[in-house]
Amino acid sequence: MTDKTLDQLKLTEEEKNKLKELVLARLTVMPQEISISIGDKNLDKKALTEHVQSEDEIGKQMMEMDLEFLQDLARGAMYGHE
């Protein structure tokens, strides 16, 4: 199992922009009722979107998480995880 940061993934600028677009698109359907407690912040949809837009530490983790999730989904890891 790899647990690489976005910088370690060495995505091209184009790939990174597409991933960012995907993450931002998904955030548009985030339910208003939920928020994410990450680090010392509790972030709603709007705040999360801003973090991804600015590609700060939290924004990058959101992008890593979504990419990892999609990759794991594609290889069926969610059904065979230890």
Partner 1 sequence: MNFFRISREVLCTDMNNSLLVTRPNHDSATNYLYHWTEPVIDEAKRKHIPLYDLKEDKATKKIFLSYLQSKRPGFLFLNGHGDAQTVTGQNYDVLLDKTVNKDFIFDTIIYARSCDSGKILGNTLVQHGVSAFIGYTRKFIVGTTRSNITKPLNDPLAKLFLEPSNLIPTTILKGHTAGVADRRSKQEMLKNFQKMISSAGSFEERYAARWLWSDIRSQVVIGDQNASINS
In the chain, the amino acid numbered 26 is R
Cβ-defined contacts of 4-10 (< 8 Å, 24+): 4/64, 5/60, 5/64, 6/60, 6/61, 6/63, 6/64, 6/67, 7/60, 9/64, 9/67
Instruction: Give the pair of three-digit tokens for residue 63.
Output: 């992008």
Identity of the residue, 1 or 74, whose beta carbon is nearer to partner 1 in the bound complex = 1
Identity of the residue, 13 or 33, whose beta carbon is nearer to partner 1 in the bound complex = 33
Least gap, CB of 69 to partner 1 (angstroms)? 4
Identity of the residue, 14 or 80, whose beta carbon is nearer to partner 1 in the bound complex = 80
Least gap, CB of 72 to partner 1 (angstroms)? 7
Binding residues (CB under 8 A) for partner 1: these are 1, 3, 29-42, 44, 58, 61, 64-66, 68-69, 72, 78-79, 81-82
